[in-house]
Structure 1
């Protein structure tokens, strides 16, 4: 039990929670009732932007997976790759950007609900090919919306994010289609989930 001494009424309150309460509310209307207020725990969130899933979100608390969600299909990314740098109609470009913006708005709304301490993103500026530029354009929209909502984010080195095993840390895992497979511990997971979790874990220990 975690005891709290309330100086105002010279009493001690015990609770089973291990967290430290921020403050206590005392109700004298019917006998004496004490309500302990705790700070809402914050999460560390990893966000992977990719070709298979447009956005993959993995949130951790205390180093363990808490919530996961996927957005979008490869169709949206494929459409953006096709038009990037190509002479396409203005209407077509606007339609695709509107799809991406709508999806990212949903993602950011979900991120707000997670109460993140920080959101970890891959630094996609280092990729200069067509696919990399497409993903970076998506990331720019995400960064802008995070900034507008006051959500802290950090760009991390993307090196080996998809090949490191999020379960045991082995650095030479295999990506087989949609799956990540670790030859060291046998761990298998969705490749985008593994990448997003690696980002969250990296930020959990270094941010």
Structure 2
């Protein structure tokens, strides 16, 4: 891309470089698509019910540290593929409300703590029952419980 930007507009070499850059972009795009397809079908084959937290992607992109990796992840495409593959295979795929405080609620006793909003805190510690658990694992358990509650 840097070479392309230095080429003279309207020149043969610029056009050649433009074609090369588009091929590289296409390859990266296809690699990402392939990864999402493989991951979604493996999850669908492995589980009968899948619950996903509905994330505020626009808000996450505003965070400079997360923006690039969030934009590259393609959450909406991943969920779309999970949904249609779930329908094909008669599996349940649902979103859990984005305002559900999954990482702030203790998965053991249900106590809600406001301390874990900071992403740098990786360990959830419950003030009530003393449970110490990985923040993401705790959130996953809570998302599963909330999803099961809404389905029944």
Assess same fold via TM > 0.5.
Answer: yes
Shift of 1:177: 4.5
* Larger Cα-atom Rg: 1
- The aligned counterpart of 2:108 is 167
Structure richer in strand, relative to its length: 1
Say which SS state the counterpart of residue 168 (structure 1) adopts.
coil
Shift of 1:98: 0.9
Whole-Å separation in 2 of the counterparts to 1:204 and 1:106: 21
CA shift in 2, pair 1:164/1:136, >3 Å: farther
Shift of 1:198: 0.7
Listed as ranges, the matches of 1:24-173 within 5 Å are 89-111=25-47, 116=48, 118-124=49-55, 126-129=56-59, 130=61, 131=70, 134-159=74-99, 160-172=101-113
Shift of 1:119: 3.0
Whole-Å separation in 2 of the counterparts to 1:140 and 1:180: 31
Say which SS state the counterpart of residue 155 (structure 1) adopts.
strand
TM-score after normalising by structure 2: 0.62
Aligned residue pairs, count:
115
Unpaired segments ≥5 residues, structure 2: 1-21, 62-69
Whole-Å separation in 1 of the counterparts to 2:121 and 2:42: 27
CA shift in 2, pair 1:156/1:185, >3 Å: same
Structure richer in helix, relative to its length: 2
Whole-Å separation in 2 of the counterparts to 1:176 and 1:182: 17
CA shift in 2, pair 1:191/1:102, >3 Å: same
TM-score after normalising by structure 1: 0.47
Q: Which runs of 4+ in 1 moved over 6 A?
A: none
